[in-house]
Amino acid sequence: MRQLLRRRTSASLAHDEGLADSDSGTRPGYGGRARLSLSRVRSSRNSQAELAGQASAAVAEVEHPPTAKDPAAAAFFDVDNTLMRGASMYHLARGLAVRKMFAPKDFARMALRQASFRVRGAETSGNISAVRQLALTFVAGQKVAELVQLGEEIFDDTMAARIWQGTREIVQRHLEAGQRVWLVTATPVELANILSRRLGLTGALGTVAETANGKYTGRLVGELLHGEAKAAAIQALADREGLDLTKCSAYSDSANDLPMLRLVGHPAVVNPDPDLREEARRQGWPIYDFRLGRRATIITLPVLASAIVCGIFIALALRRRWTRT
């Protein structure tokens, strides 16, 4: 089904031709196979955020159906800096660079973006745009199956140890209450699915990239699953899975995810950036901070310089490794 959707959301989507000639399909859902109308994806082509959200929900698979204690409730978790320290795309890129999937200079750029992300503790439109462009560049032409296999290895090698234990405990409480737990992330859906599966979660909503003949084209379906697109994906998934959003929870670190947080009945913030912390205090939302110290986002210039130098050093080391081989 996923490959069918992606084949039918190929170049035509980039030119606003929609999902012409696609039929309704089925996708596993809680308590049976949920009917999935791709006409929703087709009708939202005028909004890239809506398109990204609808596409993400369309390919979302239930990995671990929950018990039936609370079938109408779910918890939605952002990944970067909420569930995991740092940016998941950076960890993926680092693992791919070590495996010689792309050039050291590209990883150097990704390392600088990661240093900025870690220091500032916040996403910006400029960072998001830059990460999007880098991600599309290094996956274009890569085989989907190969990237998934490498993603499994990279999770074991790098990502598993970076899961915030405090957030993991919140996740577990939702699971023990019989609620579904979904990741909602700008990370490619293939990597999001790996994270969800390895953590025993219900499933994942992630950015959907076009594929053709089993390879990435270097284009997205809509845009990154970010901001309004996350809210659109959650709404579409709720419609599909029969969720009552007033009973649902959502967790994020970034003010960019306010559309997602405001969509549910029980929003909460984890390791929040300053703008989100301020909004959470105004709204009376729960605030969790698992970083070292409550002022973790206020880092001195020497620490920033150290992070940047470290990223450059890694890139140069990789360059020397490439030269020797």
- Sign (positive or negative) of CA dihedral 106, 107, 108, 114: positive
Type and span of the H or E element at 265: none
Which of 241, 280, 248, 278 has its CA nearest to residue 263? 248
80 in catalytic set: yes
What CA–CA distance (Å, rounded) separates 195 from 153?
12
Q: Name which of 196, 77, 81, 183 is nearest 127 in CA terms.
A: 81
- Among candidate residues 21, 80, 239, 275, the one labeled active-site is 80
User: What tokens were used for 253?
Assistant: 């670190």
- Pick from 209, 206, 254, 260: nearest CA to 232: 260
Give catalytic status of residue 70 as yes or no. Answer: no
- In angstroms, the CA 322 to CA 227 distance is 38
Got the DSSP string for 14-33?
HTT-TTTT---EEEEETTEE
Catalytic choice (21, 23, 78, 289)? 78
- Residues carrying an active site annotation: 78, 80
